[in-house]
Structure 1
Amino acid sequence: MDFALLEKGIWLGCAGVGFAVLFNVPRRALGVIYIIAALGGLIKFYLLSFEIGLVSATLCGSSFIGFSSVLAAHYRKAPPMTFALPALIPMIPGFFAYKAMVGIMKLTAEKDPDVYTKLFFETVNNGLSAWLISLALAAGVAIPLLITRKETVKRIKTDKVLEK
C-alpha cells in the first residue's frame, strides 16, 4: 500500500474524530469513529487510484461507513448516526462546491462570450460533481441504515404505549 494513501487515512480518521468531538459524541465512540472514518476514506482513495469514478468511489466508501456504523451501533450501544455522520463529513466535496460558487460569481461579471462559455461549463461541471458526490454520500449511508432497520419508529412508539 502506498504511504501517501495510508497518510490520507490517518488524517481522515483525525478529521472524523474532530467532528465527533464537535458533536459531543461519547468518548467510548471516538476510537470506532476514527477507524470507520479512516477506512471509509481509504476505500474511496484506493478505488480512485484504480481510476474508478469519483462518485462511484465515494458511494463505496460511504456504504462502508453506513454498514460499519450499524455494526458499531450494535456493539457500542449507540445510534448508528453517532458513528456515521462524523465519519462521513471529511468526505464532503467542499472543493467542488467552492469552485462552483466562485464560477457563478465570475459568470455574473464576464462579458466575453468565449470565456463565458468555458467558465459556464466548468461551473456546471463543478456544481454537478459536488451534487452527485453529496448524493452518493447520502445514499451510501442511508441505504445500509434503512436495510438494517428492524422496526419503524411508528411501531416502536405504539409498542411502548401498548405495554403500559
Structure 2
Amino acid sequence: MDVTIFIEKWIWFGTAAVGFAIIFNVPTRTLIPTFLMASIGGVAKLLFLPYTGIVFSTLIGCMVIGLLSIFAAHFKHSPPFIFAIPAVIPMVPGSFAYYTMKGFIKLAYNTNPDDFVPILYDTVTNGSKTLFVLMAITLGVYAPMLLTRKESAKQIKIPLLKKAKK
C-alpha cells in the first residue's frame, strides 16, 4: 500500500472517532488522545489486514486501542471507555451489515429458485463476518481492561513514571 493512503486512512479514522466523541459529549481534553488512538488502531488494522483477514486484524487494532486507552486514562484522569468506545466505532463493519440486510430482503422477494442458494450464501457470509468482527471489537476493547481490572487506571503504576519521579 502507498504511504499516502495510510496517511489518508489515519486522518479519516481519527476524524470519525473525534466526531463520535463529540456526539457522545466527552470532555474536550480527551479528543486528541481519542484521535490518536483511533488513528493508530485503524492503521494497525490496515497493516495486518492482508495477513490475517478482517476479523483478526480488527481484533489487533482494537486491542491496540484498548491498551492505549488505559494509558490515556492514567494521564488524562478519565475512564478508559471514554477513549476506547469512540475510537473503535470507525471499525464497525457497516458494509457487511448492509449487504446482509440487503441479502435478506432479496431472499424475501426471490421468486427464482436458481438464485436462492447464491443469495443465501452471500447473506450468511456477510452476516458471519459482521458477527465475528463485532465480537472481535468487543473482545479487543475489553480484554486489556479486563486484565487490569484489579486496579483503577489511576492506581496503575507505569514503570517509566516511577523512574522519572525519583
Task: Please report the TM-score for the alignment, with normalisation by the length of structure 2.
Answer: 0.88
What's the CA shift string for 1:116-156, capped at 9, x where partnerless? 1000000000000000000000000011111011259xxxx
Instruction: Give the match for residue 51 of structure 2.
Output: 51
Task: Please report the TM-score for the alignment, with normalisation by the length of structure 1.
Answer: 0.89
Separation in 2, partners of 1:123, 1:151: 43
How many residue pairs get matched?
Answer: 151
**Overall identity of the aligned pairs, in %:** 43
1:112 Cα deviation after fit: 1.6
**Could you list the runs of 5+ residues in structure 2 that have no partner in the other structure?**
153-166
Instruction: Give the match for residue 112 of structure 1.
Output: 112
Instruction: Give the match for residue 25 of structure 2.
Output: 24
What's the CA shift string for 1:78-133, capped at 9, x where partnerless? 00000000001000001100100010011011122221100000000000000000
**Could you list the runs of 5+ residues in structure 1 that have no partner in the other structure?**
153-164
What's the CA shift string for 1:21-78, capped at 9, x where partnerless? 0011111110000000000000001111x33211010000000010100110011100
- Within 5 Å, give how 1:53-72 maps onto structure 2: 53-72=53-72
Task: Report runs of 4+ in structure 1 exceeding 4 Å deviation.
Answer: none
1:94 matched to 2:103? The reply is: no
Separation in 2, partners of 1:68, 1:148: 13
1:6 matched to 2:34? The reply is: no
- Secondary structure, counterpart of 2:38 in structure 1: helix
Instruction: Give the match for residue 131 of structure 1.
Output: 131
Separation in 2, partners of 1:65, 1:135: 15
Separation in 1, partners of 2:17, 2:55: 20
RMSD of aligned Cα (Å): 1.2
Separation in 2, partners of 1:144, 1:151: 12
Separation in 2, partners of 1:138, 1:128: 15
Separation in 2, partners of 1:125, 1:19: 29
